[in-house]
Structure formats: C-alpha cells, structure tokens
Structure 1
Amino acid sequence: MKFDSTDSYIATSELKTAVNAAIALQRPLLIKGEPGTGKTMLAEEVAESLGKRLLQWNIKSTTKAQQGLYEYDAVSRLRDSQLGDEKVHDIGNYIVKGKLWEAFEADEQVVLLIDEIDKADIEFPNDLLQELDKMEFFVYETQKIVKAKQRPIVIITSNNEKELPDAFLRRCFFHYIRFPDPATMQQIVDVHFPKLKQELVSEALQMFFDLRDIPGLKKKPSTSELIDWLKLLNSDDIPEDVLRNRDSRSAIPPLYGALVKNEQDVQLLERLAFMTRR
C-alpha cells in the first residue's frame, strides 16, 4: 500500500516518502506549508490513491479536543425526561460521536484529516495525545472504552499560526511542503489545464514567480491562487503578449485580484509601476 501522485495531484518524491513513512510507522503525518500549497487536498488524494474513505475534521478557534471524541447532549436528555420519552433511560441515546470515534469504529481503515490544528487553543494537541497514541478513549457517561478496529491513517495540517507542543510533535512524522519550483509548478498547471496554450502558461508562470520575488510583499500568491488566475486568463482569452510585457516585474498583473489579496500589496505594486514609468 503505497501513496503516489494521482491524475489531479502532483506529489514530490519527498512528499510521497513522508506519507508512506508515516503509514509504515503508524504515526500521524503532520503537514506544514504555506496556505494554498495543497495540504488539505493531500489528505483527499491519499484517500483516493489508497482507495479509502476520508473523514474530515475541520478545526476552528472554538473547537475542543473532546468534540473529536464525543459530546454528551444533556439538554436533549433533560427535555426528553420532561416529555416522558422512554429513550431517556439509555444515556447512549444522547452521546454524539465525533470524527475520531467514527474513524475508530470503521470496519475498514480510513483516512482521518485533522485540518488546521493550529487554529485551536494551544492545549488542543496535548488533549489528543493519549487518543492518537493508543488509539482508544474512555466514555465516562457509559463507562466503556472505544478502541480502534483499524488504525486510521491520520493526516494533520498546520499553517504555523501557533507553535505546537513538543510532546505532540514527538508523536508525529513531520513534513514541510516547500513551495513548488517552476518545473513542479508547470506539472501542476498541466494537470489542471492540459489544453492551455504553453506560451500563455510560460508567461503567466514567469510573472507569477516574479510577483512572489518582490521584496516587501505581505502575502505571496499561492498555488491555488495561480490556478484561479490561469482560469480567469483562459476564460477572458487574455493574449500572452499582455503578459510578455518586460515591465511585468513591477507592473500590476491583469486580473490581479486573483493573486493579490490585500490593499498594502496593491499599493506596493502601484508604487513599483509608477517608479518604472518614471
């Protein structure tokens, strides 16, 4: 069982090695990288490549680790007791299973994605140490232990918004997705736009990487934003001559709203364009 690139996802040899090493070690795979480099998509493609079901747990700032295990719906039980409902006598009727429970009780091995773990409270990763390590947890309300039937393939993503605890890091296999070089980016573009004129792709990639190299840029455009930009260039039938402008290193790209995401960077590009014209 080996992960490889798919028809819609180009994985570098280092990334494929990391995924397969984590599977072999039965450790969670911790993936870091710039936003838009395909961290979330990786889990989807791993599941597709290996023919497994994907369970996705999207983490927010308010998410608690307990929610991944289960939640006890005491409010519903109180309401049912007031209404005289018979199911109130079985507390199990009020246990809401979380994504980890779903993964643990699956008859076949699944891929579990814990997406953007760094959005949660700093204690969130530590609160999952035991469960991810031993693949079991205790349900206090029913006094039962839930054990994984099949150890899931766990993929955890982080945008580096917060430092993760050392105890958590020790239990993971780590990989940082480096930003694709031009050759890899060409492969990624070809997967998404196999029929796009190569002259347009070549000029667009040159302008894209020139834009990323501008000093002082607050948010560099990502892979996903490049794909959106190329889609617009193609749909609007922008000729490659427009992108071939030799002042493109300083000028604002056409349809720049797909690439530049804040006013500070727009103002920076406007100043550079003005200085070039002078």
Structure 2
Amino acid sequence: MTSLLFGLGAGAALVALYSFWRSAFRIENGNVGVLVRFGRLVRDATGRVTTFPPGLHAKAPWVRATEISLAERSMSLEEHGGVIEVLAPDGTRIRVNARLRFHVAQDRVAAFLAESKDAVEELRGLFRVTVREQIARFEPTSADLSAYTALRSRMNELQQRTLEALQESALHEYGIAVIAVDYLQIDPPEELVDALNAVITAESEANALVARTALQCLQRSLAAAQAVEIANAHALAVEDEIRTVGHELISLAERGVLRDYVDRRRAEVLGHSRRVYLNHQPTRSQS
C-alpha cells in the first residue's frame, strides 16, 4: 500500500512538474509570440490575435506557443539566387537580379500565420510577378535611347515603383511589411552583350589609334619646330658673317685698297686650284 501511494505521489509530482514546464514560455528579443489552442490562434475579446513581447510568459499546458521573428529579412527572385529573364516594353529580353527587404508586421501576425501556408515563399512569387509587370510597363522617354537604357539610367524610379506596387498587397495578403526593393543587376541578353563588347572594343582601339597618331603628330611638330629654330639660328649666323664681311670690304674701299685685296685673294684662290677654267668670249670676225 505504501509503495502504491509513493508511486502515485511521484507520478503526480512528475505531472505537476511537466505541467509547470509546459505552462511557461519565453520570447527572445526581436521576436513576438502567439498561442495556438487546438490548431487555432488564441484571440482576445475583440477578436484580435493575442501577441506576447519578449520575456517570460505563462500559458495553459495544452496551448502551444509559436515564436515569430520581426527582424528584417531579404529574399531574391529565385530561391537559390540567380537572375530571371524579363521582357522590356520594346520586346528586349532583359536579365534581372533583385532583392526584397521585408519584415513581419507585428499587427498582422494573424495574416502571416493563417492566411497562407508559406507566406514567405508566396511573397517571393508575388515579387517575381511584380518585377515582370513593372519592367514591362516601364516606358522609355524621348531622352532614352532604348528600354534597356531607360531601365539602367532610371533604376531608382523603377525600384520605387516596384516597392509601391508590393507594399499594399504584401501587407494585406501575407502580413508582411516590405521595406525596400534593390535591383542588383539589369543586363541585356547575351547576344546584345557580345555586340556591346565588340563596340566597346572597337571604340577602345579607335581611341588608342587616335592617341598614338596625335602623339606622333606632336612629336613631328616639335621636331619641325626645332628644325625651324636651327635654320633660323644658322641664317642669323650667316647674316652676321655677311654683315661683318661687308663692313670689312667697305673699310677697305674707303682706304683705297679694295682692288689690291681682291687681286690678292684671286691669286690665292687660283694658286690652290688644280684646274682653272677661263670664261673667254670669242671675237666676231669682221667681214
């Protein structure tokens, strides 16, 4: 009898301890807690889902506590990242990679848990659809060369349009507050990339050729300028020499010895010559 009573007491103690352990739950910082009773969210008298802030709380043992993170999260267009192909307004296939930043709205926890089986994955699908729709509707202006250049040059406007299109739907349908949309990559199709690379390469080679030609022309211009300076200096030297000789000849003429100087110089020149040619004019015969 004593052992039976001891067993009953021990069992009751274990049940009480287990019930006590099941009657308390803790919510970590940055999270919010809700209670689920027999598969249904516990609501207050007004019909709103009861939420619990971070800390230690009590509940009935048969009620399950669920913890939801309110921290900011991000997702890509595809589950494992990567890009998707989207049609631009002019029919060009654009490769796009973008990320969505969001968090669970604390006052819409019921929608996040109850309105869909997997709110985050369904939000990803809504994100892809919205990106395709916004890019398809993004008409280029007269200042844009094409739909692709419009998307690249006005990316901030595209991000804002996508954000505004997502915010209301995400909050109402999934209880998620969208913070921002970031377009990480907007690239043309592969064949257009090859064409653009060829154009860029040709342009680079043309620029290099122009630069080399300009350098050669500059070098030649500098060489020509130096040659002109040398010729000018030589001409000035010859001019000075002629002027000096002229002054000396004038001085000799004034002293009356110019004829003697010329005869002596002619004799010196003829004396050093190996052969002398005389300019002899034949006389005409008189008839």
Higher strand share: 2
Greater RCO (CA < 8 Å, at least 6 residues apart): 1
Indicate the TM-score class for this superposition, using the shorter chain for normalisation: under 0.3
Say which one has the larger Rg. 2
| TM-score of the aligned structures, taking structure 2 as reference length | 0.23
